[in-house]
Every structure is written in structure tokens, then in C-alpha cells.
A and B are shown apart, each in its own frame.
Chain A
Amino acid sequence: MNKMILTGLTIICLLVMMAVFAPFLSKYDYKEQNILERLQPPSAKHLMGTDEYGRDVFTRMLYGARISMSVGLIAVLISAFIGIILGAISGYFGGVIDNIIMRFVDIVLTIPTLFLILMLVVFLGPSIFNIMFIIGLTSWTDIARIMRAEVMKLKKAEFVDAARLIGLRNRNIIIKHILPNALSPVFVYMTFGISGAILIESGLSFLGLGVQPPEPSWGNILTAGKDYIHSAWWMVAYPGLAIFLSVFGFNMLGEGLRDYLNPKIRKENL
């Protein structure tokens, strides 16, 4: 275990705990407005101050963690699902099937991803569900490529020949014998994917196209705060910090895992 994995995991665990135990960590409701206490600076009563409607920012941050991180996680699970299946089929069968799938990947890769996401969100409307699916449906291409390369390497291995010799069906060979061995580089990519998706959601929020208020996401808390940046710094500072920390944590974890799984580097660090 190296330091990067440890740092990343610590940060992620803290944020996940915040998200899971949100109702126990704060006595306020994230939607409850209190106009008398609007734009209060951080105090013992409101740890991170209050926003323009007098809502407790700390509470909104906790519930925002739930939404921002689940957008990241679910988007990546969707893209991994598509990428792994297409990549595995492409790598295992080769030939015409491989050619068709890979040309399709080339085409999708060529359309600027962020703009494709923007376009789809504008056309379909920005709901949490849409955003997860749109990010997932547009970012599977790299996973498909990684998966294909792994499967192509593995299908020449002796244990796959052995599985074929005892008469297993293709589907079973892929799912039971090749997949478990091919997944580790995909996992590394997925951790980067989560941080990427969190950043994309917050970027969309910044343009008013992310998760829509009053549902809180780190991105839209920050965006609301942008108009009060001169008087209420806490509305901008904390959500920005949370986005940064989560992205930093997942990137650290990904980077650490990549080193850990790369035998060349691992030997050197031991």
C-alpha cells in the first residue's frame, strides 16, 4: 500500500461518511428557509454560515455530498458497464465485430465530449437522472479501449486455451475467466472517471445546467454563492473546497492504484 492510495482513501472515506451520516451531523433541513437569518457568516450555530434564503450551508454541503458523489459514481458505473461489455466483445472476437465497434469508438471519441454533454443536457433538460446518464453514455470509450487491449492480451493465455479445450462456451470464458483478470486497469480508470464526472457536474452547475436547486449539489451551492461573492465568501469557499478535495482524493487514489498495479514501479518503491 503506498501513501497516495492511503491519502486518497482517507479523503474519500471522510467525504462518504459526511454523505451517509448527513441527517445525524446536522439538525437543520437542507430545504428549510429562514429569511431572518440570511447570509449569516460562519458561527457556532451555523458552522459554514447561511445562504441567500437563510438555509444552513453546512447542511446543504452534507446533502450536496450525497448528490455530487452519487452523480460521479453512477455515471462511472454506467460508462464502465458499456465500456467493459463492448471492449470485451471487441477484444475477444476480433475481426469484423472488433472493426465495427472500434470505428464506432473512434467516431464517438472525435466528437468533443464536453460539448456533446452540454448539448444533450440542454436538449433533454437538466435532471439528476439525465445528468448521470448523459455523462455515463458519453464517457465509456476509454474504458472500452483499455478493456479491449487487456482482453486481447489475455485471450492468448494458456488458461483461456484450457477453458476452451474443456468445452466452455464463449460467454462463460469471457465472464468467468477473462473479465476478473482484465479488470484492474479498468478500476484505475474508473477512479479517475469519478473525479472527472464530479468536475463535469459542477461545471454544468456553474452554467446553470447541473443538478437544479433546491436539490443541493456542491456545484450549485457554489454557483448560487457566486452572486454574493463580495459579501458571503463562505458560500463560495466551502463548496469549492469540497469539489477540490473529492477530485483530489479520487485522483490520488487512481494514481496510487496505477503505481501499485504497475510491477515496474512497485519494485522500485519497495
Chain B
Amino acid sequence: MKNYIFKRIILLIPMLIGITLITFIIIHLTPGEFTKINMQMDTRASPDSLARLRQLYGLDKPLHVQYFEWLKRFIKLDFGESFIDNRPVMDKILERLPATLLLNIISLFLIFSFGIIIGVTSAVRRNSFYDRLMMIFTFIGYSMPAFWLALILMLFFGVKLELLPISGMKSIDFEEMNFFEKIFDILSHLILPVFVTSFGGLAYISRYVKSSMVDTLSQQYIKAAYAKGLPEKKVIYRCALKNSLLPLITLLGLSLPGLIGGSFIFETIFAWPGMGRLAYEAAMSFDYPVIMGVVTIAAFLTILGNLIADVLYAVVDPRIRYK
């Protein structure tokens, strides 16, 4: 087991190099460039000043030199400074992290709890009216374009009923509020984004739980539990549930990158000041250091999430451990 984890961690290095190299190549070989975009706005700019600007940002050096310089700094966990406001990329990321974490932890919690409940109850009452209803309900969430749903909800709850704030994370007078008002303010800003994110994610988890539960219920040991005379509730909730929820651990690990990376579409609709929006702004303004930073961190988290999922799975399921 230890050997296995060690091997996986060693594999991280070539993976990260591959990912950052691909991102780097995409950034630098595509036609748009940070300096050119800036120059377009100024008609008096001469080719000479363009060259000086490129030199200033280090964009005039050969590509491999630029990449190695980036790599050298990355080893010291330094992602450089943003082209836009010259602040360290790390600071910008850390500043956006809490908003994304807050939104996604709550959504993920709701998705998993409702997903498990819907999945298990539909598996138990398979092919019933309830099962079909839940399937259609989750399917609608899965097929709904999130920004459309968001628009409609914003219009209805925010504008027509004036019940909920429609964008951002805090009200304008946030600083003057006392502690409880502050919490209430953030919570009310959270309701719509959390609902939209969770509704879309529900189908995946509930389907997964359902098929895993259906599978478990057809196992021999469940028949044995019935044969022994255990009441149905005990068989389902004590014997079957535990075993059918095991594979969920994998999904929990796989949701790690989304948890921290956020989604730029959701965050843009609700003007949520998180990581996804930072990534979006960086891409739109050709802010190379921030793009590299965001992609590297997201990729690292994905690999880490996979690793954690595999290790946890082996820890809870002895059948895998001994293979």
C-alpha cells in the first residue's frame, strides 16, 4: 500500500510537467497576446514600444527559456505576478478561494445528501411511480441550462418578489452590519447559486447510488439476510446501504477539483467573487501568469483527488486492498 502511494506521488511530477507544458504551449502559440491587446487600444503605439513592452513582460525570450523560468519559480511555489495589476498570483488565488469553497461545500453537501436519499429510496421501490418521478425530476435538473434556470429564478425571486438578492456575495451595507446580520446576509446571497448548482448535480449522484444499491440488493448475502428472517428495513438500511455507498468515496475524491476550482459560468451569472470568475477574467484579459497558476492548481487538485479516492477506497474495501 505504502509502495503504491509512493509510486503514485512520483507519477505526479511528469503529469504536472506535461499539463503545464501543454497549457504553456496553448497560451503562447495562439495568435492573441497580452501586449498586442493593450496596444490595440492605443493607436499611437509604435512597433518599437510594442517590443519594449514585450521585453518588460519577458515575452521576447525564446519559448523554452520562458517555460524553464516559469518552472524554476513554480518549484518555489511562486506563480509570478499578474500582468494586470502586478499582484502575486498566489495572493489573487487565495483571496478568491473562500467564496468558491463556501458555495461548493454547501452545494456538494446538499447534492450528496439528497442524491443518496433519492437514489436509495428509488432503488428500494424500483419501477414504481415514485422511482419514475424522481428520475424525471433529476433528469430535468441535469438537462437544464444552468444560466437559464438562474435567469428565471433571479427574475422571479429577486425582481418580482424582491425576496432574495440576485448577485454578489454581500450587500452594499455589509460593513455596517452586526455579526448575525452579516451571516444572514451571506446566507441569503447563497440561496440561489446553491440551488442552481445542486439541482444540476443531483442526477449524477442519485443515479450512481441507485444503480449501486440495485446491484447490492441482488447479492447473495442480502438474500441470506432475508432468509435469516431480518425485517426488510434492517436488511436495507443496515446491510445493503453501507455496501452500496462505498463507491461514493470515489466520487467524493473526484469532486475535489470542482470544489476549489469553481465554475466560471455559475460564478459569472451570480457575480460570485470566486476562483471560477478569476479564471474567466484571466483568460479574457490574456493574463498569462494567472492562467498558468489557475490551471496548475486545478490539475494538481484533480490528480490529488484521484489519488485520495483510490487510497480511501482501498482503505474501506478490503477486497481491493489485497489484490
Contacts and interface: CB of A to CB of B under 8 A. Distances in A.
Given A111-B22, A120-B26, A240 B298 contact: no
Nearest to B33: A123
Contacts of A120: 26, 30
B69 to A, nearest CB: 21
A106 B307 CA distance: 13
Given A111-B23, A112-B295, A122-B32, A251 B155 contact: no
Chain A interface SS verdict (over half): helix
Contacts of A252: 139
A182 interface: no
A229 interface: yes
Interface stretch (A14-22, A172-180, A201-209): A201-209
Contact of A110 (B148, B159, B303): B303
Contact of A112 (B31, B139, B151, B298): B298
A228 B264 CA distance: 23
B299 interface: yes
B58 interface: no
Interface in B94-151: 139-140, 142-148, 151
A85 interface: no
Contacts of B188: none
Contacts, number: 110
B71 interface: no
Interface stretch (A42-50, A156-164, A242-250): A242-250
B302 interface: yes
Contact of B30 (A118, A123, A244): A123
B139 A248 contact: yes
A111 B159 contact: no
Interface residues of A, number: 38
A99 to B, nearest CB: 12
Interface string B277-306: 001100110100001001100110011000
B265 A203 contact: yes
A107 B26 CA distance: 14
Contacts of A222: 148
B256 to A, nearest CB: 12
B164 to A, nearest CB: 16
Given A120-B30, A229-B151, A251-B143, A206 B265 contact: yes
B19 A203 contact: no
Given A112-B298, A229-B151, A119 B26 contact: yes
A207 B147 CA distance: 10
Interface in B58-76: none
A61 interface: no
Contact of A236 (B22, B30, B148): B148
Contact of B144 (A104, A125, A206, A244): A244
B32 A111 contact: no
- Choose among A108, A119, A122, A229 the residue with the greatest number of B CB atoms under 10 Å from its CB: A119
Contacts of B31: 123-125
A244 B145 contact: yes
A199 interface: yes
Of A123, A207, A222, A252, most B-chain CB atoms within 10 Å: A123
Interface of B: 14-15, 18-19, 22-23, 26-27, 30-32, 139-140, 142-148, 151-152, 155, 159, 257, 261, 263-265, 268-269, 279-280, 283-284, 286, 291, 294-295, 298-299, 302-303
Given A111-B299, A123-B286, 16 more contacts: A107-B15, A107-B19, A109-B302, A111-B298, A114-B263, A115-B261, A118-B279, A124-B31, A124-B32, A202-B145, A203-B265, A206-B269, A207-B265, A240-B151, A244-B145, A248-B143
